[in-house]
Amino acid sequence: MKTHILLIDTDKDELTFLLDALKLVPHDDGFKCSYANSGERAIEILQHLVPDLIFVDFKLPGMNGLQFLSEISNHPLLQNTKKYLYSMFINEMMSTAATELGASGSVKKTFKITGLSDELERIMRVSPEPAYAFSSIR
């Protein structure tokens, strides 16, 4: 099953950059990406979608990335979704705050496609089992 990623960023070029980096990440089933340009829009999308990974920029119109993480921290369907603060402006305080709000970590934006693909590959390697499972009982 394809890994579904939600990117929340005001810069749509970041989606293209993320997609290009994902092309370099070995993954048997591939990836599917969705995009939101604000935290509010992402919350609307999350009413109909449970992604495997969420990358949220810190600088967003309206609510910032940390406020978004706070808003979704108790969402029952997102408990197994890995969430990452994804920003050029990551510092230790922001990273700690993101983790306290349920983020799996922080990823500093880079201008090097290989740097991002290496980080994405590391994240994929430590991804937990999907939030859903099928079983049969005899």
- Write down the pLDDT at residue 102: 94
Tokens of 16: 């293209």
The total of other beta-carbon atoms located within 10 Å of residue 135's CB is: 4
Tell me phi and psi for residue 30, to 5 degrees.
85, -170
Q: pLDDT for 28-68, tens place per residue?
A: 788 899 999 999 999 999 999 999 999 999 999 999 999 99
Per residue in 86-127, pLDDT tens? 998 889 999 999 999 999 999 998 889 999 999 989 988 864
CA-wise closest residue to 56 among 107, 8, 11: 8
Query: Sign of the CA dihedral 65, 53, 115, 8?
Result: negative
73-95 tens-digit pLDDT: 989 999 999 999 999 888 999 99
**What predicted TM-score, i.e. pTM, was given to this entire model?**
0.86
Q: pLDDT value at position 126?
A: 61
CATH code: domain 3-125 is: 3.40.50.2300
Quote the mean pLDDT of the chain. Answer: 87
Enumerate the β-bridge partners of residue 106: 85
